[in-house]
Structure 1
């Protein structure tokens, strides 16, 4: 407890004078941390050294300093140095350093001044440290206390059993934790040992270790590739990079050098570099550079921008090292229930002390017996018993190819009521098939064409664009790149050739990538009259060189290239991308009038549509000028050439899985980066949106020209007009007619669809509408990775238990943030996902939910059983304490080991039910039905145990037991001749052997088995208990054994268990008590299951209780809201900004 430790050992003082800081998170968990203040020594002018140096300081930390700093940064540093003392105060929290700024009087996140070494340090703790940390767990401390107490009371056997269980548990936990640390260490250790070349003064190069890199260094990317040790922006050359470690995307990505700075949006000067905006020019830490291309004399160079834990890989590692705590009602209720048991134990503790004092018991015995009642009421085996169901569920998941790195999440998955799916690669097949093309001539669409690879089209600008406008490259002789580009290039059958390193080095410019058609496609002569199809007069060798590439940008939704035909004087610009974006950059007169209709026809059928455009560049534009020209100068005033239609087929199992989820009342949501109408079409095809359901498209526009933000509501039904708003990427939206009535909408279901830009505007300017949209939002298109994470958080804010299923590409943040993230990728990025499916199919989702429900139900059953076990044994001991007796050591051992542990670990083996049902397990222990079940069984057990305890005293043969008691002979039973053999034992100083003890022992032993059967639930979440063969076998063996030793005593067993001889009639009486107990317990439990929900529902209806879940409460409100859903072709405007003290106050969601 950091808070208590700091407050107990430190005195509160000002931050600038403190030695320890106490930190608390601002989230709902309010977690406390403490950090020690360290001192860092600085010289008067630490940056005066001409080369990178490492100044060693007294505390062992090294500060890396470099001269490669901008003058503006140098000025800031000098200014900072003058205002600081000779020592700088800082602390480290979660691998990030925070420094005290005397000017601002706070701890600043380190960005500009002192960076530290470039290291993502995941230290593998020693076994001793892990052992100490594990042993200091409150659970093990309580176990240690219990073991010491039992040894003092000479209860060695169970103490030894608990010690063995604890040792096995600790060793298993140590092995698992150590293994995870080693895996994470190996994942991040590779880049720490890399040697890199850094450019210094006068173009000198220096070989240094990657740990010595600091922001501002200019590093040289080696020709044979490397693993990036930092985040760096490319300033010279081109790199082919594999980013699968970070994004999960296995397709190599082309990185180009940072373009010339352009004026920013506000016209305030040069555009500022941002790793997110300029990610196509940024080499991220941990990614693998496969190939490089460079200028002669100018090596491939990159400027270091982020190091250590500030890099993209460092942030991923931090999210794994310091995950957000799992908040689940079951665990909160479990602690609350334990507090209740502690309260019960306190009552027993006080009762034991008073009773012992009144009976003049020795003080040592009083202490041991009163403390023993605590260990009985709060069983040390409870946590192990609670995790049994999770362990078994994890094993079953592993058998079906689902691997879990966060077992506690399995229980939470049992509560999932909403699942978000990525589209491409998750709901649909990974690959795209070329369905056909539709070219434009004379501003009119031609008929669709399926075969692109033919002699008639080889000369067309359309095919030239398909051949050049891509980011494909050859890796080890194999064509590699984006799947869409691969399909497009393979469809035309052309050949791609790249220059070798030797060829590149011989020229004064970058050797271009060359594409050419196969010889069999080239016509023997060029048709003179075919002006429309003619691209140019074909020379003997027909090749096109790609001079400059502007990579695809998800923000811009397009890519372009500059190419030149061999022998041609002018260069050509080709562009492809989202049809709406491409159309907006083309000459209006080249766009067909039915463009929007044609586009809508394809998108409504679920096709992915790509538009192509072309422009002839000026002859004065030379090779070198092209390398420095801005993207905006190329991508404008283009000629629209037509459409490429790609088909993305649904996976075979997708509709069936979604149908199963819908039957189980689990909402499904699509989150994709694809076109909105394509996403809506796929949602209808897969059953996410039913045919009769309405789709309402929310088109949100940000504030502009003094106007507030607004949302335009459109009904996607039949096309009447199209929107040209940039907020929805100018996508064609079919709009339902205004005069259509909303009556059918009130009866049928409706869904909201929006894209990423609209989603961001709504989050920022329409916070009051966010919960309403989350309640019925089904399709979210054109979503960026961070927007996917924001969507998951928004859904969680209205109390949904959210699952996320993605293929790992751009889904990492959402997978980590969801309650149950399932990655369909086995790449390294999936290390951050709680679950990874070996089979790339969404069929893993219902399997995970089924196992989660089974594990959750098992946890409830085990918890209820352990609670009853504690109370039954607690009451048994309390009754026996009243006659100064207790259960014997072997009686305790038989109950705790032979009955409780065997039952717990076998009743947890019930597999999951074969199908999902609409009902969900309860999320917490504090529910009416569950509490009534536990309390009723407690009352029944106490009642029948008390009946046996007091009834035995009323028997005519009853007497205060002594070794020569002869109760068996009073009945003339067949055991009479052996009564002295049974009862003649050694003296019993603890008064274990008596009639009350024997009666309570037998009845309570049967009661443990009775409640185990009553609580072992089957359908609808688990298989019936009779299919759990180990459990059934264990219970039968225990029943038979206890029944046998009760009705047919065995001298050796009775002597070991310290059971005394009682008349045969009393044994039959005990059997009748047990049978009636079993009948009543099972009938009551079945009644609770059957009638509990009905009574609870009626009670809630009478009280008109407000639902606890926000989304349920919101759904009730919206049912009676006449203004919701919005009417078609209406607009909702944001509220006017509230001004305070002359400034605008804007509330945003982050």
Structure 2
């Protein structure tokens, strides 16, 4: 299809016409350039095709459970087949839901998140358990689903059972297939420059039509009338225009590559020159990936203790608080190293405990030992050591904002449930008398300072609960009536480059927005620290509640205004909206008219789910913003693809559909991309104006010569078309981007007053001078009138 581009068809027509007119030199030059252009394009397409083929190809032998275990090709799998997941791991050839066992999975190919996640089997509903009666949903049961293309690192099974999964989707219907489809059929880029370019070319065609009619009216010799008339069209609409327009983009792409920014959609470079708003993810993008433990604040008898720097104290070793820190996570040992979420790693390291899976302890998949428990004798309790085994894990869910584990201390008959998650969520699941009265004030104090706060809770389970009963118990039942244990305070530092880059964008009048899954007040604090929200400006938290029990949604307050750390009366005119994902969902569904006003002044969007980030990008685009998105690839893939200029800071496969990928792990790539985009865009405008002016000048020259039945010679055409025009066009595009990002943006389209005035003025000046020179020469005494008979 690339070879059948309308411009290449027009070039073929032009080459045939020039050959008929014996203008071979320029025809050969155009053919040479076109062949190189097509060959380069086809090579790029072929290279991308091979990359996609390698990404999609998943031909392997899998074990399928029918009446017995048998082997089958992965390409023969259909929904409903039962796969046996090998214990040594595999690459999933389809989407499947776990029905028995547990898997440790690397989902970086899809989510961009390099941290392995734990997938558990679908819960088996017990008697009277209505939770398991619902239909399977990919979104709702994501923590039980193994996605196509993800890497199964380890499997865990109990009592010799096989780890089995039921195939639910294959081919392009899988999550990986949808990713590949988005690469094959990306959303078309509707850019005003390209629309205006076609309108401009139509104007040139109309002018060529006038010249075509004029040349016929002149009644040139019959054998040349058609060729000479059609030649007017090739003069007015230059066939070299596509190559000339592409030059600036190609040079910009090379400059971007030199600074570590790679592009899979070169046409997006021009669009990046128009960006006037950039959305940023927080964790890993504006702030460092890792978290540092700032301290802990325990709760006893419904009262907060003073904050403590760490939990590695002898007095806390046997406390439920430390036991929760040591067990309530999804860490797993891979090749002797603990792997998992950075927050979980920091939390576990702070306890001073170690992990060991070599002990067999009542079917528990993981054991966590205190460092003093070195010898088996100590483990058994002779020296006070502790061993805790995890009996069941309820993985972290972004929708629920919490995770839970059931564990048992060696030597104890009763089990314990430990809960970890967002403070507001954990507190709502605890007994009211165990939650301190000043809980909200303490939490707000920490989050305003930019700390990331995690809450812990515990529950002593009944002795009648056996291992088998625990495996089938409902999650909601397990997480009810908890006792609040306290808070873990984590510190997430800003990257060194963040504040400076955001200041550069602010000076360039480019609006910045934070889109994060973190706590609202933490996000606002980080936004103030990095300069996204100036200290003197107000922050208004927009809040919308969903309807309950059939109550009309209109009866709820749409917004509640909260003034956060702003006491300057002069700042009342400067305000920023902040809202949570829940409020965004309600406003998107029920208050579309309010949504546009909110996104025009919204700066912080917290607790946002991945699909909500994409919806926000679309909402910003609907109010005529050119939107950029910068994220580390974790849960940002949809937004990166939907934005006009998506920049991924991750080189993992999930970011392959992002138009741009930066090797620089910070946001300093954003101003560089915008500057190069502006340079490419300005070059495109200049080249288009220059080529249009050159075409009109040559058109005027040929039309004047046609009036005396003459024309330019072949070498005159060749000198103009190659020596003058192409040389200038390709060297003009070599100009690098300006080293600073300025506030003035280039125009977005060709149909604008200043640009049209510039072109039309130049055309009129050239028309006047050429006509005057032509008439003046004809009136000179030495001028002899040429006629065909004079030869």
Structure 1 length as normaliser, TM-score?
0.67
Within the candidate set 562, 570, 573, 1:716 is matched to: 562
Instruction: After TM superposition, give the deviation of residue 849 of structure 1 in Å.
Output: 0.5
Native 8 Å contact 2:264 2:659 kept in 1: yes
Matches within 5 A, 1:553-952: 553-709=397-553, 710-717=556-563, 747-952=572-777
Identify which range, 700-709 or 378-387, moves more after superposition. Answer: 700-709
Task: Give the distance between the partners of 2:783 and 2:590, measured in 1 at CA.
Answer: 82
Q: 3-state DSSP class of the match of 2:593? A: coil
Q: Specify whether residues 383 and 619 from structure 1 end up closer, same or farther in structure 2 by C-alpha distance, changes over 3 A only.
A: same
Within the candidate set 183, 189, 198, 2:64 is matched to: 198
Task: Give the distance between the partners of 1:666 and 1:909, measured in 2 at CA.
Answer: 26
* Residues 487-541 of structure 1 deviation map (CA, whole Å, 9 limit, x = unaligned): 11111221101248xx6xxx9x63431001111899x99xxxxxxxxxx987654
Native 8 Å contact 2:373 2:385 kept in 1: no
Are 2:345 and 1:479 equivalent residues in the alignment?
no
Q: 3-state DSSP class of the match of 1:624? A: helix
Q: 3-state DSSP class of the match of 2:403? A: strand
Native 8 Å contact 1:433 1:647 kept in 2: yes
Instruction: After TM superposition, give the deviation of residue 281 of structure 1 in Å.
Output: 0.8
Task: Give the distance between the partners of 2:535 and 2:786, measured in 1 at CA.
Answer: 80
Q: 3-state DSSP class of the match of 1:437? A: strand
Instruction: After TM superposition, give the deviation of residue 957 of structure 1 in Å.
Output: 2.4
Structure 2 residues not aligned, in runs of 5+: none
Query: How many aligned residue pairs are there?
Result: 788
The match for 2:264 is: 405
* Residues 865-902 of structure 1 deviation map (CA, whole Å, 9 limit, x = unaligned): 00000000000000111111111000000000000000
* Residues 50-78 of structure 1 deviation map (CA, whole Å, 9 limit, x = unaligned): xxxxxxxxxxxxxxxxxxxxxxxxxxxxx
Q: 3-state DSSP class of the match of 1:769? A: helix
Within the candidate set 109, 118, 124, 1:254 is matched to: 118
* Residues 166-219 of structure 1 deviation map (CA, whole Å, 9 limit, x = unaligned): 110010011000000000111111x2x111111113xx1121111111111111
The match for 2:169 is: 306
The match for 1:1009 is: none
Task: Give the distance between the partners of 1:915 and 1:593, measured in 2 at CA.
Answer: 53
The match for 2:217 is: 354
Native 8 Å contact 2:106 2:116 kept in 1: yes
Native 8 Å contact 2:131 2:474 kept in 1: no
Task: Give the distance between the partners of 2:587 and 2:184, measured in 1 at CA.
Answer: 33
Within the candidate set 321, 334, 356, 2:184 is matched to: 321
Q: 3-state DSSP class of the match of 1:592? A: coil
Are 2:148 and 1:285 equivalent residues in the alignment?
yes
* Residues 853-876 of structure 1 deviation map (CA, whole Å, 9 limit, x = unaligned): 111010000000000000000000
* Residues 601-630 of structure 1 deviation map (CA, whole Å, 9 limit, x = unaligned): 100000000001111111111111111111
The match for 2:82 is: 218
Task: Give the distance between the partners of 1:559 and 1:268, measured in 2 at CA.
Answer: 18
Are 2:268 and 1:443 equivalent residues in the alignment?
no
Task: Give the distance between the partners of 1:368 and 1:919, measured in 2 at CA.
Answer: 47
The match for 1:208 is: 72
The match for 2:13 is: 145
Task: Give the distance between the partners of 2:457 and 2:71, measured in 1 at CA.
Answer: 46
Q: Specify whether residues 171 and 672 from structure 1 end up closer, same or farther in structure 2 by C-alpha distance, changes over 3 A only.
A: same
Task: Give the distance between the partners of 1:481 and 1:690, measured in 2 at CA.
Answer: 36
Identify which range, 591-600 or 343-352, moves more after superposition. Answer: 591-600
Native 8 Å contact 1:557 1:578 kept in 2: yes
Q: 3-state DSSP class of the match of 2:314? A: coil
Are 2:783 and 1:958 equivalent residues in the alignment?
yes
Instruction: After TM superposition, give the deviation of residue 698 of structure 1 in Å.
Output: 1.3
Matches within 5 A, 1:348-427: 348-355=211-218, 357=219, 361-427=220-286
Q: 3-state DSSP class of the match of 1:305? A: strand
The match for 1:185 is: 53
Q: 3-state DSSP class of the match of 2:2? A: helix
Within the candidate set 364, 367, 382, 1:514 is matched to: 367
Question: Greater CA radius of gyration, 1 or 2?
Answer: 1
The match for 2:24 is: 156
The match for 1:1074 is: none
Q: Specify whether residues 264 and 410 from structure 1 end up closer, same or farther in structure 2 by C-alpha distance, changes over 3 A only.
A: farther
Structure with the bigger RCO (C-alpha within 8 Å, sep 6+) is 2
Q: Specify whether residues 239 and 866 from structure 1 end up closer, same or farther in structure 2 by C-alpha distance, changes over 3 A only.
A: same
Instruction: After TM superposition, give the deviation of residue 711 of structure 1 in Å.
Output: 3.4
Are 2:31 and 1:168 equivalent residues in the alignment?
no
Matches within 5 A, 1:236-251: 236-251=100-115
The match for 2:325 is: 466
Identify which range, 559-568 or 943-952, moves more after superposition. Answer: 943-952
Structure 1 residues not aligned, in runs of 5+: 1-132, 526-535, 719-733, 963-987, 992-1150
Q: Specify whether residues 675 and 990 from structure 1 end up closer, same or farther in structure 2 by C-alpha distance, changes over 3 A only.
A: farther
Task: Give the distance between the partners of 1:631 and 1:763, measured in 2 at CA.
Answer: 30
Q: 3-state DSSP class of the match of 2:286? A: coil
Native 8 Å contact 1:454 1:521 kept in 2: no
Task: Give the distance between the partners of 2:473 and 2:101, measured in 1 at CA.
Answer: 15
Are 2:198 and 1:335 equivalent residues in the alignment?
yes
